[in-house]
Amino acid sequence: MKIKFLGGAQEVGRLAVKIQEGNTKLMVDYGVIPEKPPEYPLPYEKVESIFVTHAHLDHIGGLPMCYQTHRPDLYATTMTANSMRPMLEDSIKIMDIEGYPKRFARDDINTLYEMVITSRYGDSSQVGELTATPYSAGHIPGSTMWKFENNMDFLITGDLYTGDTNLLNGAKPVKAETLIMESTYAGKNHVDRQQVVARFRERVKEIVDNGGKVILPAFAMGRTQELLMILATMDLKVASDGMGNALTNIYLDTPGGFLRSRSELKRAVGRTRQIRNNRMRMNALEEYDAIVTTSGMMDGGPVLRYVQELADDPKSAIFLTGYQVEGTNGRSLMETGVLNIAGAPVRPTMQMDFFDMSAHAGHDDLVSFVKEVDPERIILCHGEQREKLVEDLGEYEVILPMNGQEFEI
């Protein structure tokens, strides 16, 4: 088997893995690093089929570019296929607004969708000499670990979370000889999730009891819905705004067992008001105690409008729950207390807090996962500090590939 990372080997983002086994050539993901402007993987190399692990842009952001010269089959779970379209269309919008080089157009997205073959977890497909089966990766709804088998077998995790949340059950290990695994949190562990959620609930209650509002910047996929499910168990008036609403509706409309409990998500959404236009937005701060809204790193979206309105209210709060990438407004707010709204610096007097609700397995979780998969060799990718895992994986052959380097196993 020959493997070549076109991106995402020694970095978090733009994952693109080309794999050749016998005469079968396939690729897993073709993402971007969502910088300003985005960074793309090495140029697409022709394959017969592309397998998608999940709908985050660092795994799908460049996919339409693979459909400009020919038409590989695209395998994804139904949930991933349904979630991808708003993300890809939004990328085109951002290219236009920001004046970034136009790397693909709406037609390329349409071509891609003509080639989509969807599946549920556990349903196998025959692709050339390989049998491909998707398993839940526990990261966001629809997220997939793909297992490929013929006389040998390998498992590629995509992004992985092994704990249970309100929205999803954690990934269960699948036996494989070769494991290609993400390593975002190599060297770092998370605080226990239940403790984080308990402190989050306490802090939200404290702010609201004291007459303040809580603004919750949240990623559209997964985090928005998880927060709505946590807030639904509290006696609060909750609203949600931005692209998260579109994804919530896609999650509720996609059957196939991709959620831990569709009825519980539905109940949480039933207790939430979806803000759909500026008129509703005007009154939202008077009516609601907590607003869950995009963007998760505060670089755009309705969140900025709410923060601007509440900026001088020390009773209100901004609670961040997701990793804030360097260079984003969210990171700047955490580090300096200042963010940029429409070109002007704003220093809110609102309270600030951070809750680690990461959707990536921590260091020790990755090590336990490997032990249960019990592979002969491990290929680590999607991480900046992969070497930190190596000593805890001493009993296995560990490969740390680099982008652009083809190797054979």
Shortest distance in whole angstroms from residue 321 CB to Zn ion = 15
Residue closer to Zn ion, measured from CB, 4 or 56: 56
- Within 8 A by CB and 6+ apart from 396, the residues are 370, 375, 376, 377, 378
Site for Zn ion in 242-301 (CB under 5 A): none
Helix/strand/coil (H, E, C) string of the chain?
CEEEEEECCCCCCCCEEEEEECCEEEEECCCCECCCCCECCCCCCCCCEEECCCCCHHHHCCHHHHHCCCCCEEEEEHHHHHHHHHHHHHHHHHHHHHCCCCCCCHHHHHHHHHCEEEECCCCCEEECCEEEEEEECCCCCCCEEEEEECCCEEEECCCCCCCCCCCCCCCCCCCCCEEEEECCECCCCCCCHHHHHHHHHHHHHHHHHCCCCEEEECCCCCHHHHHHHHHCCCCCCEEEECHHHHHHHHHHHCCCCCCCCHHHHHHHHHCEEEECCHHHHHHHHHHCCEEEECCCCCCCCCHHHHHHHHCCCCCCEEEECCCCCCCCHHHHHHHHCCEEECCEEECCCCEEEECCCCCCCEHHHHHHHHHHHCCCEEEEECCCCCHHHHHHHCCCEEECCCCCCEEEC
Q: Which is nearer to Zn ion, 56 or 386 (CB)?
A: 56
Does 14 bind Zn ion (CB under 5 A)? Our answer is: no
Among the candidate windows 16-24, 50-58, 286-294, 332-340, which touches Zn ion by CB under 5 A?
50-58
Q: Minimal distance in Å, beta carbon 10 to Zn ion?
A: 14
Is residue 29 near Zn ion by the rule CB under 5 A? no
Shortest Å, Cβ 81 to Zn ion: 16
Residue 159 Cβ vs Zn ion, minimum distance, rounded to whole Å: 4
Residue with smaller CB distance to Zn ion, 31 or 375: 31
Q: Binding string to Zn ion for residues 155 to 184, with x set by CB under 5 A, is what? A: ----x-------------------------
C-beta of 238 vs 381, nearer to Zn ion = 381
- 341-360 binders of Zn ion (CB under 5 A): none
Helix axis angle for 223-231 and 262-270, nearest 10°, is 70
Please identify, using beta-carbon distances, which residue of 236 and 325 lies nearer to Zn ion: 325
Smallest gap, in angstroms, from Cβ of residue 153 to Zn ion?
23
At closest approach, how far in Å is the CB of 270 from Zn ion?
Answer: 28
Q: Which of 56, 190, 305, 386 binds Zn ion (CB under 5 A)?
A: 56
- For the bound state, the minimum distance from the C-beta of residue 327 to Zn ion, rounded and expressed in Å, comes to 17
C-alpha 164, offset from chain centre = 16
> Which span (57-65, 130-138, 254-262, 348-356) binds Zn ion, by CB under 5 A?
57-65
Distance of closest approach, residue 140 Cβ to Zn ion, in angstroms: 6
Cα of 115 vs its chain's centroid, Å: 23
> Structure tokens of 143?
């997220």
Q: Which stretch binds Zn ion (CB under 5 A): 49-57, 64-72, 78-86, 365-373?
A: 49-57
- In the bound state with Zn ion, the residue whose beta carbon lies nearer, of 142 and 212, is 142
- Shortest Å distance, C-beta 182 to Zn ion: 7
Among the candidate windows 32-40, 55-63, 217-225, 314-322, which touches Zn ion by CB under 5 A?
Answer: 55-63
Q: Which is nearer to Zn ion, 25 or 56 (CB)?
A: 56
Of the pair 108, 159, the CB lying nearest Zn ion is at 159
Give, as ranges, the residues between 101 and 160 that touch Zn ion (CB under 5 A).
159
Give min distance, CB of 396 to Zn ion, in A.
23
Tokens at 59, concatenated:
């795994």
Between 29 and 241, whose beta carbon lies closer to Zn ion? 29
Work out how close the CB of 59 gets to Zn ion at its nearest, in angstroms, rounded to a whole number.
6
CA 100 – CA 79 distance, rounded (Å): 29
- Closer Cβ to Zn ion, 54 or 147, answer by number: 54
- For residues 293 and 302, give the distance between their C-alpha atoms in angstroms, rounded to a whole number: 7
Q: Which is nearer to Zn ion, 57 or 215 (CB)?
A: 57
Touching Zn ion, residues 307-346 (CB under 5 A): none
Please name every residue paired with 27 in a beta bridge, in sequence order, or none if there are none: 18, 50
Residue in this structure with the two tokens 């049998």, named with its chain if needed: 131
Binder to Zn ion among 5, 14, 32, 58 (CB under 5 A)? 58
Residues binding Zn ion (CB under 5 A) = 56, 58, 159
